[in-house]
Amino acid sequence: MIPRLAVLGSPVGHSRSPALHRAAYRELGLDWRYDAIEVPEGTLAGFVGALAPEWRGLSLTMPLKREILPLIDDLDRIAQLTNAVNTVLVGTHHAQRTLSGFNTDVPGLVRALGESGVTHATHVTILGAGATGASALAAAAELGAETVDVVVRTPAKATTLVELGHQLGLLVTVSTLRSIDAPGRVSDLVISTLPGGTVLDVQFPSTLRASALLFDVAYSPWPSALAESWSHAGGRVASGLGLLLHQALIQVRIFVAGDPFAPLPREVAVLAAMRAAL
C-alpha cells in the first residue's frame, strides 16, 4: 500500500506543492504519492471523513486552513496561537484515526525572509487579515517587530489579529487599503497575503516602496500588480515561492518523522532537490 498525501484547496490547480514534495520523496528514496486535489470550501469534512487507510498527510491552502480546525485532534503550539493549520498528519491510536494539525507557514516565512536578507524588522506592514495574515504576524514577532500595521478592506476583520498581537507583545494598528498612500507611512518590511491577481486602487508611497522589502506570498500569476509597482519604484521584491519551499520542507519533516524539528536524512540534498523542482 503506497502512502498517499495531497495538497487540498480551491483553487489548487496552480499549486507547486506536488512538484516540491515529489522531489523530496524521490531524494529520500520513498515511494510515496502526492497529488493536488480540489476541495471547495464547505466540503472538507466530507473529504477527510472518507480518507482511506493509506493516507499519511495533507497540506492545506486557501480556504481550508481554518475549516480544518474542528476536525483536528491535537494542534501544535503555532497552530494554536494563529488558529490556522496548513499541515495535517494522519495517524492511528487504538485503531482510531487521528489528525494532528501544524502550522509550518510561520517558520517557513521566517526562513524565506532570511534568504531575502531580512532577519530583523522593527516596523512591519501586513496586507490581509486571514489565516496567512495571522502567520505573517507571528513571523513578524519572531523577527523582533515592535509595531505592525494590518491593512484590510474591512477593519472589523482584523480584530483577531489585534488580539493575537497582544498575545505576541506587539502593538498592532489597523488601516484600510484606501489609506496606504498616506505620506509619512513607515515600514521596514511589507508582507502581502492578498490572493494572487489582486489589484489595488492606490499605491504605497514611492519612498516606502524603494526602501522596504515587499514579500508577496502570491506566486501565480507573477509578478503580481503589487510586485510590479514595487519594482517600478526601485524596491526589492520576493515572491511566495520561498515561503512555499521552506514551509514544505518542514511539512516533509512532519510527514516522514512526525516532528517539525527533526532534520531529515540528507536534508541539505533534499532542500536542493526541492528548490530545483521550482
Please list the active-site residues: 65
53 burial level (CB within 10 Å; 0-12, 13-18, 19+): exposed
| Residue 126 bridge partners (DSSP) | 150, 191
Match 521566517 to its residue by C-alpha cell: 110
Q: What is the DSSP string of 146-164?
A: SEEEEEESSGGGGHHHHHH
Query: From CA 170, how far away is CA 132, in angstroms rounded?
Result: 17
E strands present in the chain: 4-9, 33-38, 55-60, 74-75, 87-93, 96-102, 123-127, 147-152, 171-176, 189-192, 213-216, 237-238
Query: From CA 75, how far away is CA 67, in angstroms rounded?
Result: 14
Query: Which of 128, 209, 109, 142 has its CA nearest to residue 174?
Result: 128
Centroid of chain to Cα 68: 15
The answer to whether 10 touches 39, Cβ cutoff 8 Å, is yes
Cβ neighbors of 180 (< 8 A, separation 6 or more) are 151, 200, 202, 203, 204
3-state secondary structure of 75: strand
Query: From CA 212, how far away is CA 203, in angstroms rounded?
Result: 14
